[in-house]
Structure formats: C-alpha cells, structure tokens
Amino acid sequence: MVPTATQNCCQVNWRSIVLSTLREQSRLPPTNVDALLIWPTRGNSGDALIIDACERFINDRGIRTWRSDGSVEDAARSDDTDYLGDLFSTFRGMVIFPGGGNVGIYPINGAVRAAVIGQTDTRHHCLVFPQSAVQPEPALINERVTVWCRDATSHAILSKSGVRTELVPDAALYMDDVIPKAPSGEGAFYIKRTSGVDPETIDHGVTFDCPSADLTLATPLDQIITTLMPFELIISDRLHGGLIALMMRKKVILMPVGYHKIKSFYSTWLKNEPGAAFVETQQQLLEVFKNLRFSTSDLAALFCHHADPALERFLLVA
C-alpha cells in the first residue's frame, strides 16, 4: 500500500519525537555541539585521566563537545545500528576517540571504533587522540580518520599501513597544571601491574624493597596522588602511573610491558628528561637511581607543542 501524505507526516513527527526524547535523556548529542567524544572502554585510572584530558583540551580550544554517557559505546558493542544511524543522521560534527594503548591489542576497543566509524559518512571526520599501536585496525585506514600516535614505533606501524597519523605525546600530560607538585619525599613506591589482568603484563624479574600496589588499575586520581605524595622515587610498569608521578615532579623509573608502549614512549619524549629513566633489569634500576634529579619540565607545554599544530591540520580537512 502506498502511504498517504498524512501517514508520511505522522511518521516524520514520530521520528522527531523519538530523537528529541533521546536528546533529553542525554543519549544523543545536542544539535549545537561541534564534537562527539566517545570512550571505547570504561578502562582503568589512566584511561579516566586521558578522557578528562581530551575533553579539557578540546573545550579549551573552543570546540563545543558532547561526552557520551556510554550510550554510543553500548550501541556499538551491541550492533545497534538503528541508534547509531539516528545519531549520525542528525549530528554534523567531528567524532573524537580518546587515546591510550589499545589499537590492535584490545579487540573490544577496536570494535567500538569500527562500529562508530562505519556509521559515519563524508560529513564526519574522526580523530583518535594519542595511542600506542601493535598493529593497524582496518577501520582506521580511512581518509576521514586521523590517529595521533604517542610513540615513534606506533607511528611507524600505522603510517606504513596507510593510516593518516601524527606524532603527539600522551594526552594525560595536558593535566600537568592541575596535578599537585611534591618533588620532595623519602623512599620509593612501586606501581606494579597485577599479574593476569591484561596481555601487557610481563615478569620483569626485578625486585625493590619498598611498598607496592597496582595503583592505576582502579584507584581514583586523588587517592593515587595521596599515596605517592610521601615518596621520592616512583617505579612503574604502568605508563600513567609513571606520568602522574612525573607530573607531581617525582623521580620516575619506568619499566617495560609486553610490547613497545612504555619503552618507545620514553625514547620518543622522555630520554632527555632528568627526572625519568627507563630500565629493563635489576642492575639498570640500581645504576640509574643515583643519577635522577627532580623534574622541572612543563609537560603540558610539551603536549601542546605537538597537539595544537596537529589539531589545526586536522581541522583543515574536517
């Protein structure tokens, strides 16, 4: 049966009512925002710091941002193409994914990115904030997608595969000015990954007689800072544990994980930083400790020096 004009009008009105209701429930972005910020996973404390830094950086640049309440991510994970179709039929802005270390290593994060990017069209350009990558994801090999890589090895991997990339430090560094400074202290604290929690964890065979905990697995940022405050030296095989300590101006020794993430990040951005070192053995740890000095570097400025021009280049094509 051919629908009448009255039927068509009712269908259009019903769709409008549904979309309006979803917006009121914060399940769809307001029509006046410039960017949709999607968090592929609820992640650990480092991921929470990253998403806050991404949102702050974008808002500080005058880009009106809607941070998903989880609805977009849930729809992507459940293959809810109706919801995603409704979203991108009315949203005209850019799509932003936060950074981290999950390209090519954590499938669920790649699946969220692929599902969302697959529902976008020529009106939408996508920016992935600084990531480490083990291998490319097919959805990212797209002329409308730009991936900021936070270390030189990841940048080489994605560039070689045809992904549009920029080399930019970890977004968490943008929070340097809001992290309290406490360069003094005594003794050491070891932020050590919990065995079996993720595929990145390795046995370093390194021991150190000091308090230890997997602080950035689930501990809120304020508690992390409170825990680290009394110590002079922080040893960490979690990247953001080390970066939080460095932003506090502690002496920091970073240790490797199961792929290049921490080692390459250190060699790309921190090898000339007097307050940081990277070690892989017990002997190296004992040797570098005496040479460390408290850092005075402006880490937010380091991030902005690379992120601002990279963002300008992205906006030229978005």
- Per-residue pLDDT band at 237 (split at 50, 70, 90): very high
Alpha-carbon distance 152 to 264, whole Å? 6
Please tell me the predicted confidence (pLDDT) of residue 202. 92
The pTM of the full predicted model, rounded to 2 decimals, is 0.89
CA distances from 97 to 20, 117, 131, 156, 303 (A): 25, 10, 10, 20, 17
Whole-number CA gyration radius for the chain: 22
Q: Are 171 and 54 in contact (CB under 8 A)?
A: yes
Please tell me the predicted confidence (pLDDT) of residue 208. 85
Q: Are 224 and 214 in contact (CB under 8 A)?
A: no
- Could you state, in order of their start, the residue ranges of all structural domains in the chain? 5-174+302-317, 178-297
Alpha-carbon distance 191 to 1, whole Å? 67
Please tell me the predicted confidence (pLDDT) of residue 25. 53
pLDDT above 80: residue 2: no
User: How many percent of the chain have pLDDT more than 70?
Assistant: 91
Please tell me the predicted confidence (pLDDT) of residue 9. 42
Average pLDDT over the chain, rounded to an integer: 90
Mean pLDDT of 112-121: 95
Please tell me the predicted confidence (pLDDT) of residue 70. 87
Q: Which of 83, 74, 73 is nearest to 51 (CA)?
A: 73
Q: Are 139 and 114 in contact (CB under 8 A)?
A: yes
The token pair at 250 is 């502690």
User: In terms of pLDDT, which residue wins out, 306 or 15?
Assistant: 306
- Per-residue pLDDT band at 43 (split at 50, 70, 90): confident
Please tell me the predicted confidence (pLDDT) of residue 252. 97
State the architecture of 5-174+302-317 in CATH terms: 3-Layer(aba) Sandwich (3.40)
Alpha-carbon distance 207 to 173, whole Å? 28
CA distances from 150 to 6, 98, 174, 304 (A): 55, 12, 13, 13
Q: Are 72 and 36 in contact (CB under 8 A)?
A: yes
- Per-residue pLDDT band at 39 (split at 50, 70, 90): confident
